[in-house]
């Protein structure tokens, strides 16, 4: 019995020694990491020597400059016409690059956060690609409590404006808490003219009839509900669960004339989330159906396991209109600490910006370059039938069109 106890005691001592050795190894590793980190980020001696050689002297650290930052939601509007998308991309002119430069200048973020925005917990609600605009984009980021929006906007290009900032919960994420998104697609009504008509002669003078507009609305309504949209994106199969998306509504405005005298309508689609190219392909097939290039049977088949050849509308006209936070607003919007993310106070400013910077660009580009007219000329290339390996040539937006995508696959 005593031998067994002695053996157990020896084993316990051995475990303690092993544990002690393990702890020492961890401490040594952490010590090395801290040393390396100091060498990489806080080697002020070397930095001071370099600055002294160039005649620059480092200012002493002032504790008052340490700014407390809290999680915030920002309301952003921008015209994407001259930008390579929302997301930061080294060497490219993007919306985020302009935003971060202004934030750094006004000390909304630190230099470390400018280099790695994850440090500031930055997250956009939805990504927009090259040429695509946003009326009400929302991003989450840690910001100081005292902010001067007027001075901040003065350092942004005319095509980008920050209209509002709201304090949000510590765990808020602009993308994850977003429960729906609304996009608009603005296009000339001549896109819906019967395919037998010579639209080249009607681009500026075509006026849609009430009967044809009703057909547009009926066609768009066929997309509503939970359906499998694998034919409306790329590299997704029918069996992929993420191909199913819920479309809450898909409507059309009444026709209106642009300053150039061209008649337009704005299509509006609201859904939980969208896949790459989904909205542009939905619009493209709807136009083909209304024009008579194909029938609603093609749309019905496109929602089944068949793989069909479908057109994709031009990127010009696509705008991220609104990101919705209904569930967040119900839970936190009336807790006495946080405001609901509805941005009603900024609506007039946003609407004025949309008309001046976004829609005016769409009207002007369509009048001068006729993107939609060029694209309509490619509709006859499509079979609207089962896709073959050696099918007809893939249509383009035309040489002068703007590329653009809706949401990433989320």
User: Domain with 127 in it: what CATH number?
Assistant: 3.30.70.580
66, 284, 294, 295 from 72: Cα distances, Å:
18, 38, 48, 48
Q: What is the pLDDT of residue 28?
A: 66
Q: What is the pLDDT of residue 183?
A: 97
Per the DSSP assignment, residues forming a β-bridge with 265 are: 187
Report the alpha-carbon distance of residue 298 to residue 284 in Å, rounded.
Answer: 12
Please check whether residue 318 lies inside any domain of the structure. yes
Q: Which residue has the higher pLDDT, 176 or 31?
A: 176
Q: How many CB atoms lie within 10 A of CB 378?
A: 18
Please check whether residue 332 lies inside any domain of the structure. no
CA proximity to 339, closest of 156, 75, 113, 102: 75
Q: What is the pLDDT of residue 394?
A: 40
Q: What is the pLDDT of residue 19?
A: 72
Decide if 397 is catalytic.
no
Catalytic residue, from 129, 309, 321, 406: name it.
129
Average pLDDT of the residues in 198-223: 93
pTM of the model: 0.79
How many domains does one find in the chain? Answer: 2
Q: What is the pLDDT of residue 17?
A: 73
Verify that 125 and 222 share a domain, yes or no: no
| 75-79, 137-141, 202-206: the lowest-pLDDT one | 202-206
Verify that 152 and 187 share a domain, yes or no: no
Please check whether residue 54 lies inside any domain of the structure. no
Average pLDDT of the residues in 384-406: 49
**pLDDT tops 90 at residue 287:** yes
Decide which of 167, 197, 213 is a domain's last residue.
167
Do 317 and 189 contact (CB within 8 A), yes or no? no
Q: How many CB atoms lie within 10 A of CB 289?
A: 23
Decide which of 167, 200, 227 is a domain's last residue.
167
Query: Among residues of the chain, what percentage have pLDDT more than 90?
Result: 69
**pLDDT tops 60 at residue 399:** no
Q: Which residues are annotated as a binding site for substrate?
A: 183
Q: End-to-end alpha-carbon separation of the chain, Å?
A: 65
Burial grade of 387 (CB within 10 A; 0-12, 13-18, 19 or more): middle
Please check whether residue 317 lies inside any domain of the structure. yes
Please check whether residue 288 lies inside any domain of the structure. yes
Q: Which domain holds residue 110?
A: 66-167
- pLDDT category of residue 410 using cuts at 50, 70 and 90: very low
Q: Tell me the CATH number at 255.
A: 3.30.70.660
CA proximity to 339, closest of 99, 169, 197: 169
Please check whether residue 40 lies inside any domain of the structure. no
Q: Which residues are annotated as a binding site?
A: 183
Verify that 154 and 254 share a domain, yes or no: no
Verify that 135 and 208 share a domain, yes or no: no
Report the alpha-carbon distance of residue 345 to residue 328 in Å, rounded.
Answer: 18
Verify that 150 and 279 share a domain, yes or no: no
**pLDDT tops 80 at residue 30:** no
**pLDDT tops 90 at residue 42:** no
Decide which of 114, 144, 167 is a domain's last residue.
167
Report the alpha-carbon distance of residue 340 to residue 333 in Å, rounded.
Answer: 4
Please check whether residue 394 lies inside any domain of the structure. no
| 7-11, 96-100, 337-341, 351-355: the lowest-pLDDT one | 7-11
Report the alpha-carbon distance of residue 66 to residue 344 in Å, rounded.
Answer: 33
Verify that 111 and 188 share a domain, yes or no: no
Q: What is the pLDDT of residue 174?
A: 96
List, for residues 46-104, the tens digit of each pLDDT value: 767 777 777 776 666 555 456 789 999 999 999 998 899 999 988 899 999 999 999 99
Verify that 248 and 370 share a domain, yes or no: yes
Report the alpha-carbon distance of residue 139 to residue 125 in Å, rounded.
Answer: 6
Verify that 131 and 157 share a domain, yes or no: yes
Verify that 234 and 354 share a domain, yes or no: yes
Verify that 161 and 256 share a domain, yes or no: no
Verify that 199 and 235 share a domain, yes or no: yes
Average pLDDT of the residues in 193-213: 90
Verify that 300 and 219 share a domain, yes or no: yes
């Amino acid at each position: 019995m005593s031998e067994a106890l002695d053996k157990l005691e020896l084993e316990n001592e051995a475990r303690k020694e092993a544990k002690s050795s393990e702890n020492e190894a961890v401490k040594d590793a952490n010590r090395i990491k801290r040393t390396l980190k100091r060498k990489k980020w806080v080697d002020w001696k070397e930095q001071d020597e370099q600055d002294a050689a160039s005649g620059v002297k480092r200012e002493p650290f002032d504790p008052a400059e340490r700014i407390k930052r809290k999680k915030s939601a920002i309301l952003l509007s921008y015209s994407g016409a001259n930008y390579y998308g929302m997301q930061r991309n080294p060497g490219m002119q993007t919306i985020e690059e302009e935003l971060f430069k202004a934030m750094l200048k006004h000390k909304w973020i630190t230099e470390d956060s400018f280099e790695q925005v994850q440090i500031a917990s930055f997250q956009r609600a939805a990504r927009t690609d090259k040429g695509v605009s946003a009326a009400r984009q929302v991003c989450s980021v840690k910001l100081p409590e005292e902010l001067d929006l007027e001075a901040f906007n003065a350092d942004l290009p005319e095509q980008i404006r920050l209209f509002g900032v709201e304090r949000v919960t510590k765990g808020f994420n602009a993308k994850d808490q977003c429960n729906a998104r609304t996009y608009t697609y603005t296009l000339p009504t001549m896109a819906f003219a019967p395919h037998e008509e010579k639209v080249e002669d009607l681009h500026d003078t075509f006026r849609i009839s009430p009967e044809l507009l009703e057909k547009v609305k009926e066609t768009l309504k066929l997309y509503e509900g939970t359906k499998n949209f694998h034919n409306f994106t790329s590299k997704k199969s029918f069996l992929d669960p993420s191909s199913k998306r819920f479309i809450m509504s898909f409507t059309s405005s009444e026709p209106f004339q642009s300053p150039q005298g061209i008649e337009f309508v704005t299509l509006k689609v609201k859904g939980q989330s969208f896949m790459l190219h989904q909205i542009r392909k939905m619009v493209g097939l709807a136009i083909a159906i209304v024009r008579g290039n194909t029938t609603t049977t093609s749309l019905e088949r496109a929602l089944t396991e068949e793989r069909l050849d479908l057109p994709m509308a031009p990127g010009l006209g696509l705008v991220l209109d609104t990101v919705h936070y209904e569930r967040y607003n119900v839970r936190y919007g009336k807790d006495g600490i946080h405001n609901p993310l509805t941005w009603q106070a900024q609506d007039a400013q946003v609407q004025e910006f949309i008309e001046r910077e976004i829609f005016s660009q769409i009207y002007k580009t369509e009048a001068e370059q006729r993107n939609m007219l060029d694209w309509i000329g490619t509709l006859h290339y499509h079979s609207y039938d089962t896709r073959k390996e050696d099918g007809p040539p893939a249509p383009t937006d035309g040489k002068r069109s703007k590329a653009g995508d809706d949401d990433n696959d989320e």
